Amino acid sequence: MGVTFLLAAVAVVATIILSHFSEFRASLLIVLISIVLSAGISSIFLWRVVRRFEIPLRGIHDIATRFAEGNFEVSPYLGLDFRFPEIADALARMGEGLKGKMEILTRQRNEQKAILLGMVEAVIVLNPSLEVVEVNPAAADLMGVRPDQAKGRSLIDLIRNPDLHTFARATLESRETREAEILLSGDRPRYLQIHGSFIHRQAGPHPPLGGDSTDRLVLVLHDITDLKNLERIRKDFVANVSHELKTPITSIKGFIETLKDGAVAEPATAARFLDIIEKQTERMEAIIEDLLSLSRLEQSDGRLPSSAQFELQQVLLSAAELVADSAAKRGVKVVIDDDSPIFASGNQSLIEQAILNLLDNAVKFSRTGGCVHIDAGREEDFIRIAVRDEGIGIPAKELPRIFERFYRVDRARSRELGGTGLGLAIVKHIAIAHGGEVLVESTHGVGSTFIIRIPV
């Protein structure tokens, strides 16, 4: 209707012009007016076309923005579903596809994070410059920093160990899976088993500017210090058992051969040799009996053969009576500091054996005229049993190993006094079987105090 009105207006204007101006000027003016009107009509048409597409284009822009923000719902936006159904359908499919992929990526990321958090092994992810990209809490603890403090820093800056850096560089250059063991020095030396893997993930068909890439080096570090210590203890145990049993067996064999060679005809010599053979046999019997006791405790898996409530003071008195003769021979006095009644729960015979072992050691290693004190009492939720001597004491460097089997601070004196080297190991396992622990406090040249703590 607007176009028709404009044409009528043009006709009226043209008629007026023709009646007042010359033919030439009129024709020129008509042409100019026609151009102006054509331009106006075109502008109106373009404006209507732009208005028709402007809202859908803004809708597409809005949808793209929402996609970037993680919102993949597109069907209800700005009427695209009826103005441009094909585009709306394509965007809807795109949104569903992106939504599914993002859900998969999120689930995989959460699973990966949960795995890393739950791993006891230290996991370190490095870029080709050997800078930390990602670490799990175990690796952060190993480095002595928080996980966020480790990212972006070089490996050698966080763990100053040239063997580890050499291993990482060699794995990166070879691009192969490698394994090695290294020793981390420090206040508490640790053995680490390292597994290194190279992951090639070049971004795009061409290397990025500057040679950077998404290549990664993954190091998995497993602390095998305890395994190394157990291996050492096992080797020492086998060597010590062999040595402890070989000594009396060799002695017995030698005296038997001497008796066969004629010494049996000499009553005094034969009697002396038989006494020695008897002592060596008793020594082997004691070692074997202690080994069997340890084996039974270990095979119980922390389960006591029987458990009941008993009066602890009676156990202390019984153990003190059993060492009374040996204490008297060495001129050592055994004193129970507190005789007030106290009740404990557990296996009475095992607790008595542990106290007896501690008393026996205290008497053997006390000076003549010294005193051994026994004390028992409540300490929060624990029963505390302490055996204190005034003997030679234990050097500080020996304290961490005294509960190992066959470990002796003074081997010669221990054998001379008849010890098997298993008494403290038995005490430790009895305490563990009761859910407790055994501790030692000692000053070299002054004396030692052994403490058994078991739950009430």
Q: How many helices (H) and strands (E) does the chain have?
A: 15, 12
**CA within 13 Å, CB half, 189:** 6
Q: What pLDDT band is residue 206 in, cutting at 50, 70 and 90?
A: very low
Selected residue with higher pLDDT from 20 and 132: 132
The stretches of 309-435 forming alpha helices (DSSP H) are: 312-322, 324-329, 348-364, 411-416, 423-433
Host H or E run for residue 334: strand 333-336
Percentage, residues of the chain above pLDDT 90? 0
Look at the alpha carbons of 427, 428, 430, 431 in this order and tell me if their dihedral is positive or negative: positive
Could you give the domains of the chain?
Answer: 1-118 (no CATH), 119-202+212-223 (3.30.450.20), 227-299 (1.10.287.130), 302-456 (3.30.565.10)
Residue with tokens 């961490």, as numbered in its chain: 400
What is residue 421's three-state secondary structure? coil
Structure tokens at 44: 């109106």
pLDDT of residue 105: 78
Looking at residues 116-124, what average pLDDT do you find? 76
> How far apart are the C-alpha atoms of 275 and 282, rounded to whole Å?
11
Going by C-alpha positions, the residue among 126, 123, 187, 113 that lies closest to residue 157 is 126
Q: Which residues contact 168 (CB under 8 A, 6 or more apart)?
A: 126, 130, 155, 196, 217, 219
For the CA atoms of 286, 293, 247, 366, the dihedral, rounded to the nearest 10 degrees, stands at -60
Give yes or no for a contact between 327 and 372, defined as CB atoms under 8 angstroms apart: yes
Structure tokens at 383: 């029963």
Looking at residues 129-156, what average pLDDT do you find? 84
Q: What angle do CA 11, 14, 17 make, to 5 degrees?
A: 155
Task: Check whether 73 has a pLDDT greater than 50.
Answer: yes
Sort strands 308-311 and 343-346 into parallel, antiparallel or unpaired: antiparallel
Give yes or no for a contact between 332 and 366, defined as CB atoms under 8 angstroms apart: yes
> How far apart are the C-alpha atoms of 421 and 424, rounded to whole Å?
8
pLDDT of residue 286: 73
Highest-scoring range by mean pLDDT, 41-55, 70-84, 403-417, 419-433: 419-433
Give yes or no for a contact between 166 and 190, defined as CB atoms under 8 angstroms apart: no
pLDDT of residue 450: 92
The stretches of 74-199 forming alpha helices (DSSP H) are: 80-83, 85-118, 137-143, 147-150, 155-158, 162-174
Range with lowest mean pLDDT among 6-15, 140-149, 397-406: 6-15
Task: Check whether 217 has a pLDDT greater than 80.
Answer: yes
Task: Check whether 12 has a pLDDT greater than 60.
Answer: no
Looking at residues 288-314, what average pLDDT do you find? 73
In SS3 terms, 279-325 reads as HHHHHHHHHHHHHHHHHHHHHCCCCCCCCEEEEHHHHHHHHHHHCHH
Chain CA centroid to CA 122, Å: 7
Which amino acid does the sequence have at 383?
I
> How far apart are the C-alpha atoms of 447 and 441, rounded to whole Å?
9
Task: Check whether 48 has a pLDDT greater than 70.
Answer: no
Burial of 407 per CB tally in 10 Å (0-12, 13-18, 19+): buried
Structure tokens at 133: 């990209």
Task: Check whether 49 has a pLDDT greater than 80.
Answer: no
> How far apart are the C-alpha atoms of 91 and 327, rounded to whole Å?
94
- Beta carbons within 10 angstroms of residue 393's beta carbon: 16
Task: Check whether 5 has a pLDDT greater than 60.
Answer: no
- The full DSSP string for 46-101 is HHHHHHHHHHHHHHHHHHHHHHHTT----TTSTTHHHHSHHHHHHHHHHHHHHHHH
> How far apart are the C-alpha atoms of 420 and 346, rounded to whole Å?
26
> How far apart are the C-alpha atoms of 217 and 200, rounded to whole Å?
9
